[in-house]
Amino acid sequence: MRKLVAVAAVALVVLGGSASAGSPRPELAGLVTADDVRRHLIAFQDIAERHGGSRAAGTPGFEVSAVYVERRLLAAGYTPRVERFRFPYWREKASAFLGLEPERRYARGTDYATLGYSGSGDVTAEVEAVDVPAEGGGSSGCQMRDFTGFAVGAVALLQRGGCLFRAKAVRARRAGASAVVVFNGPGREGPVRGTVGRPLPIPVIGAAREVGVALAEAARRSPVRVRVRVKAVSGTRSGANVLAERQGGSGPVILAGAHLDSAPGSPGVNDNASGAAALLAVAQRLTAVGPLRRTVRFAWWGAEEVGLRGSRHHVAELGAQARRTIALSLNFDMLGSPNGVRGVYDGDRSLGVGTPAPEGSAAIERLFREHFASRHLPAAEQPFDGRSDYGPFIEAGIPVGGLTTGTDGSKSKAEAKAFGGTAGEPFDSCYHVPCDRVENVDRALLDSNADAMAAVLQRLATAR
């Protein structure tokens, strides 16, 4: 029954569904304008500037952002609902990363960054590389067997990739690590930035690839001692999701979501005011397309940057019966990366990497790819890597899909040829840092993605 309900709406559209009979409907993609989206982007940036430079979960900047969305929905005729939840709060107060033999002081923000929910501590110990291959690959701490022979008390040096940061850090601690350093994988610029999801009792930092590779090579030749110091505070704070529905027929619900919070210290205009603004513009214009055959639920998720807290809370609170009413979940995260691609989530897993998505996800991918093809626009597949709000829906067995334009990974030569931009440079060099402002956003890329969001959502909600 779960599979039949889950794929019903998608199958109707992809396998021969057509628009509802009657007078021609206006095209939602034509109603949603670039200026609609840009007005919301500017508003979100202004909110960040008035509240300490960010819209991070648990801060006034986020709360005002949520009020902004709620008021715009009310003005558009919706009855929005604010879904509150509690989440673990964490803030870094100070940190340092030093090489002692030979002596070197690594620069915060350039050579290393502290991962969210790192524990506090001041550790001086030898570095031990864990399953770190010379050229990518390897599980590097994703399995306990990687730590066979690990010296208790050492600093675990791990390469990014293969599993979540938390999984690596938890296994390192179980093996006796006193601190963890996760360095970037091939083709990624700058230090690893991210979170371990919830508090851990040992320091966990992310390092730039060149720093990690140099430490791993040096440690293979002779003992290398480092100092890792983190001072952080943690607790719990209140978060919120903003939800609104446009009622349709009695069939399953189409859910469309984007996270509303920014990373700490960043106004988060591309990540992810771009997705939130486009979703809000689409919601405002959806009322003009006439009756829907399926209910559309819009969601602006809170606390995505600290472990997908808002979407996880929503899915958990639904209960088994309510989950069965959701046909699919669309996710829109970072829609205007300045060196980006037009990325469609890989529902059919043709890339052969990432988390397998539930049945029905391939059909969602096909809808987006058909839309871009109809506009003669290139599109690229993006794996489900667990870093956005589709994750809880995958775990619940709900088909997922959506759009993204790239985070801190580097653009390939093939992608540069297809989309323009610069090969070897990050998709978004302002990812999670203060320069993620309105001028950081590729307006043409954002506009084409907003059109795709509108077109696919209308097709799913109105097809017979």
Cβ atoms < 10 Å from Cβ of 328? 27
Parallel/antiparallel/unpaired status of strands 81-100 and 103-105: antiparallel
Q: Which domain holds residue 124?
A: 102-223
Question: 117 and 63: one domain?
Answer: no
Asked whether 408 and 392 are in contact (CB, 8 A), the reply is: no
Domain count along the chain: 2
SS3 of residue 448 by DSSP:
helix
SS3 of residue 343 by DSSP:
strand
The H or E element spanning position 221 is helix 209-221
Residue 126 exposed, middle or buried by CB count within 10 Å (0-12, 13-18, 19+) = middle
CATH code of residue 182: 3.50.30.30
Question: 250 and 195: one domain?
Answer: no
- 222: tokens are 């002779």
Instruction: Pick the last residue of a domain from 186, 202, 223.
Output: 223
Cβ atoms < 10 Å from Cβ of 64? 17
Question: 339 and 385: one domain?
Answer: yes
Distance CA 279, CA 196 (A): 28
Parallel/antiparallel/unpaired status of strands 112-114 and 121-129: unpaired
CATH code of residue 290: 3.40.630.10
CA neighbours closer than 13 Å in the CB half-sphere of residue 440: 29
Q: Does the residue 251 lie in any domain?
A: yes
Instruction: Pick the last residue of a domain from 195, 223, 251.
Output: 223
Instruction: Pick the last residue of a domain from 202, 223, 244.
Output: 223
CA nearest to 114, candidates 237, 34, 228: 228
The residue count of the chain comes to 464
Question: 79 and 179: one domain?
Answer: no
Q: Does the residue 58 lie in any domain?
A: yes
Question: 392 and 287: one domain?
Answer: yes
Which 8-state DSSP code applies to residue 248? Answer: -
The H or E element spanning position 121 is strand 121-129
Question: 298 and 431: one domain?
Answer: yes
Question: 151 and 262: one domain?
Answer: no
Distance CA 65, CA 268 (A): 12
Phi/psi of residue 81, each to 5°?
-125, 130
Phi/psi of residue 183, each to 5°?
-105, 160
- 145: tokens are 């067997």
What type of residue is 352? Answer: G
Q: Does the residue 319 lie in any domain?
A: yes
Distance CA 381, CA 314 (A): 27
Distance CA 338, CA 446 (A): 10
Q: Does the residue 228 lie in any domain?
A: no
Q: Does the residue 284 lie in any domain?
A: yes
pLDDT tens for the 464 residues of the chain, in order: 444 444 555 655 444 455 554 557 899 999 999 999 999 999 999 999 999 999 999 999 999 999 999 999 999 999 999 999 999 888 899 999 999 877 899 999 999 999 999 999 999 999 999 998 756 556 899 999 999 999 999 999 999 988 999 999 999 999 999 999 999 988 888 999 888 988 999 999 999 999 999 999 999 999 999 999 999 998 999 999 999 999 998 789 999 999 999 998 899 999 999 999 999 999 999 999 999 999 999 999 999 998 899 999 999 999 888 999 999 999 999 999 999 999 999 999 999 998 999 999 999 999 999 999 999 999 999 999 988 999 999 999 999 999 999 998 899 999 999 999 999 999 999 999 999 999 999 999 999 999 999 999 999 999 87
pTM attached to this predicted model = 0.81
- 275: tokens are 């997705």
Q: Does the residue 407 lie in any domain?
A: yes
Question: 260 and 219: one domain?
Answer: no
Q: Does the residue 204 lie in any domain?
A: yes
Question: 8 and 57: one domain?
Answer: yes
Question: 213 and 242: one domain?
Answer: no
Q: Which residues are catalytic?
A: 304
Question: 50 and 141: one domain?
Answer: no
- 8: tokens are 């019903």
Q: Does the residue 147 lie in any domain?
A: yes
Question: 430 and 378: one domain?
Answer: yes
